[in-house]
């Protein structure tokens, strides 16, 4: 595993490194050496999936980002089989690099059950993604994004996203793909309610940002290589932390997942 991945399927091809342990590597990113948080979540979920039966599908994950990962170094995923039940099973995953743990993730899996299905969430009215300009910075080799403007005071960020390469029909790969895309757009919702408002090109000069913890509840399956819409709301800012909650919809308005993330949005102070 010496060559950097150039597509999502290759990114998910973890290398066996002992009992319930796998190694993953990273692609280059346009912003530098920090690993994109959604990648570590997706690879950790993929490692957990390798320890559960085919009858289980992920229904939730909860993750803490402990320290930034370095794209130049492989990531070691260690899975702990916490529980195996007839309907549910639970796994814990620690992602490590040389400096220590970079992510701690818990995931729960469930067999399909024929029970009531009701949806109350409604997808907002938005333009078709093909009618929107690409969002910058674009990742032409792995993820395409189309984001609507985040207006001052709105506390909302909305955008379409999809993986760019056509994926196989493996449903587990698509769950990992949704986990990968779930760490995007949320900062726009938090920035829109911050008292300090700057043009987008000055965000990195004015703020230091990072994902702190991240949760996804999977409601229904969705192909990750087809457009899906994230609708984020920021519930408030306190102590340099912003609380964001999002709904994920298919193009037809079906709710695919609920996502929550607490993020760090800290003003850069003059030296």
Catalytic residue among 26, 39, 211, 222: 211
The question of whether 16 is a catalytic residue gets the answer no
Tokens of 156: 């909302």
The question of whether 183 is a catalytic residue gets the answer yes
Distance CA 113, CA 115 (A): 6
Q: Which of 211, 193, 191, 210 is closest to 201 using CA atoms? A: 191
Distance CA 227, CA 159 (A): 10
Distance CA 182, CA 175 (A): 11
Distance CA 136, CA 38 (A): 17
Catalytic residue among 183, 186, 192, 231: 183
Cis peptide before 169 (omega within 30 of 0): no
Distance CA 172, CA 58 (A): 8
Query: Are the C-beta atoms of residues 94 and 53 closer than 8 Å to each other?
Result: no
Catalytic residue among 106, 182, 186, 261: 261
The question of whether 192 is a catalytic residue gets the answer no
Query: Are the C-beta atoms of residues 236 and 259 closer than 8 Å to each other?
Result: no
Active site positions, annotated: 183, 211, 261
């Amino acid at each position: 595993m010496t060559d950097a991945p150039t597509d999502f399927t290759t990114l998910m091809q973890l290398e066996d490194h002992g009992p319930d342990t796998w190694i993953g590597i990273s692609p280059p990113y346009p912003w530098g050496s920090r690993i994109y948080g959604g990648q570590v979540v997706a690879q950790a979920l993929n490692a957990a999936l390798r320890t559960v039966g085919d009858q289980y599908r992920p229904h939730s994950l909860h993750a803490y980002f402990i320290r930034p990962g370095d794209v130049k170094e492989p990531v070691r995923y260690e899975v702990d089989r916490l529980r195996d039940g007839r309907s549910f099973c639970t796994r814990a995953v620690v992602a490590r690099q040389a400096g220590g743990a970079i992510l701690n993730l818990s995931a729960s899996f469930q067999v399909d059950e024929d029970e009531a299905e009701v949806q109350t969430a409604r997808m907002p009215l938005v333009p078709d993604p093909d009618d929107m300009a690409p969002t910058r910075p674009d990742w032409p080799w792995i993820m395409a994004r189309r984001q609507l403007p985040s207006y001052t005071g709105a506390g909302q960020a909305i955008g379409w996203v999809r993986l760019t390469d056509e994926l196989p029909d493996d449903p587990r790969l698509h769950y990992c793909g949704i986990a990968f895309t779930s760490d995007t757009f949320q900062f726009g919702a938090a920035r829109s309610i911050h008292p300090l408002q700057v043009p987008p090109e000055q965000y990195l000069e004015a703020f230091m940002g990072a994902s702190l913890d991240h949760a996804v509840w999977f409601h229904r399956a969705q192909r990750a290589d087809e457009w899906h819409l994230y609708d984020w709301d920021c519930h408030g800012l306190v102590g340099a932390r912003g609380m964001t909650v999002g709904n994920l919809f298919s193009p037809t308005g079906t709710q695919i997942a609920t996502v929550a993330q607490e993020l760090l949005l800290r003003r850069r102070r003059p030296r």
